[in-house]
Structure 1
Amino acid sequence: MHRTTSHRSGGGSSRSTNRKSPSPSPPPPPPRDQSKKNVRKTGILKVVAENPLVIVAVRGCFMCVTVNGLVQRLGVNPKIVEVEEVKKIAILVKLSQIEGSDGGPWELPAVYVGGKLLGGVDKVMEAHVKGEFVPMLRAAGALWL
């Protein structure tokens, strides 16, 4: 005896209860947004952890360019992570997840020395004026001389 179900409109499929087993279909791929989110999260946290000096900056930001200029004049080539203005909030949230960041940074540029948040342009300039910035860079391995 052969039984069939009625056809459904709107993308449904008809099934037959024949003795033949349907060929197994491969599992669906993971959602794109989720996989990209994991890669980006791992990416920026990994960059901060693996580089002695990281500047997370908004593309075209004058203060970000100022911090970069200072550290380059000191003889350091920082790892610069540039973000678009529209992605700034999302990046700040990800950066706040770094252990020991005390929930910050709150603004960009965010400067990380030895994997730890130093702060923004004000903290960098303060450390530089006090003579603490160069020893920090040496201790992190960003400056050798």
Structure 2
Amino acid sequence: MEKVMRLATEKGVVIFTKSSCCMCYAVNILFQDIGVYPVIHEIDKDPEGKEMEKAITKLGCNAPVPAVFIGGRLVGSTNEVMSLHLRGSLIPLLRPYRF
């Protein structure tokens, strides 16, 4: 869990993904369309990936990937991100991190 939290707080927007996950790709593209370029950590390419996946689940993420952190805080996975976006709440959260 320590590694996940350290990586999650190193930049404003961090997404933990798997390289073959289409929903991870979709969330990343959504953020880029908004003007935010998140730090991506592909846990399937990390030797500690299985432990990281367990830690993300323990933190409360419904699905282990994509796990989106904004400002060091876990926002959630695809459903939570899309719900925030549809309610108009995602862009205000991302405003400080836009280019």
How far apart, in 2, do the equivalents of 1:94 and 1:119 lie?
13
2:98 is equivalent to residue 143 of structure 1: yes
Q: TM-score normalized by structure 1?
A: 0.59
Q: Once the two structures are superposed, what CA deviation does each residue of 1:87-134 show, in whole Å capped at 9, x if it has no partner?
A: 65421223356xxxxx32242110011111111111111111111000
Moved more, 112-121 or 81-90: 81-90
Find the counterpart in structure 2 of residue 105 from structure 1. Answer: 61
Find the counterpart in structure 1 of residue 83 from structure 2. Answer: 126
**Residue segments in structure 1 that go unaligned for 5+ positions in a row:** 1-40, 98-102
Secondary structure at the aligned position of 2:60 is classed as coil
Deviating beyond 3 angstroms after TM superposition, the runs of 4 or more aligned structure 1 residues are 41-44, 85-89
Change (3 A) 1:44 1:133: same
Change (3 A) 1:43 1:87: closer
Aligned Cα root-mean-square deviation (Å)? 2.3
Find the counterpart in structure 2 of residue 114 from structure 1. Answer: 71
Find the counterpart in structure 2 of residue 90 from structure 1. Answer: 51
**Residue segments in structure 2 that go unaligned for 5+ positions in a row:** none
Query: How do 1:47-58 and structure 2 match up within 5 A?
Result: 47-58=7-18
* Greater relative CO, 1 or 2 (CA 8 Å, sep 6+): 2
Q: TM-score normalized by structure 2?
A: 0.83
8 A contact 1:92–1:106 mirrored in 2: no
Higher strand share: 2
2:18 is equivalent to residue 62 of structure 1: no
| Rg larger in structure | 1
Q: What number of residue pairs does the alignment pair up?
A: 97
